[in-house]
């Protein structure tokens, strides 16, 4: 892996992926976030571990505090973040 305390990437990355990531730097933040969301989904599929985003965790907290979601619904949501 390359990088020291900053961005890290696999040196064996395909040329197409390297080129795309260079282009991503010029994209608007919302498009970069969309790509990051897709990458997180791929990583979760590959590792079997889903890491909820800060926004997802906040939404769960807000739902729990608002009374909109029952305890059972909140627990079901958290189960989706746990590895079986």
- pLDDT tens for 72-83 read 887 888 887 765
Tokens, residue 56: 């997802």
Question: What integer pLDDT is reported at residue 27 of this predicted model?
Answer: 96
Q: What is the pLDDT of residues 17-72, one digit of tens each?
A: 989 999 999 999 999 999 998 998 898 888 888 778 888 888 888 877 887 777 88
Task: Verify that 62 and 41 share a domain, yes or no.
Answer: no
Residue 22 belongs to a domain:
yes
Task: Verify that 59 and 35 share a domain, yes or no.
Answer: no
Residue 74 belongs to a domain:
yes
Residue 7 belongs to a domain:
no
Question: What integer pLDDT is reported at residue 2 of this predicted model?
Answer: 47
Single pTM value for the model: 0.50
Distance separating alpha carbons of residues 84 and 78, to the nearest angstrom:
12
Residue 78 belongs to a domain:
yes
Radius of gyration of the chain (CA): 17
Domain range spanning residue 29? 14-51
Question: What integer pLDDT is reported at residue 45 of this predicted model?
Answer: 86
Domains: count for the chain: 2
């Amino acid at each position: 892996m390359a990088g020291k305390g900053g961005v890290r990437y696999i040196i064996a990355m395909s040329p197409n992926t390297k080129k795309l990531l260079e282009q991503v730097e010029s994209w608007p933040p919302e498009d970069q976030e969309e790509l990051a969301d897709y990458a997180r989904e791929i990583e979760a599929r590959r590792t079997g571990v889903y890491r909820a985003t800060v926004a997802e965790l906040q939404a769960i907290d807000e739902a729990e505090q608002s009374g909109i979601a029952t305890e059972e619904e909140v627990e079901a949501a958290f189960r989706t973040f746990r590895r079986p």
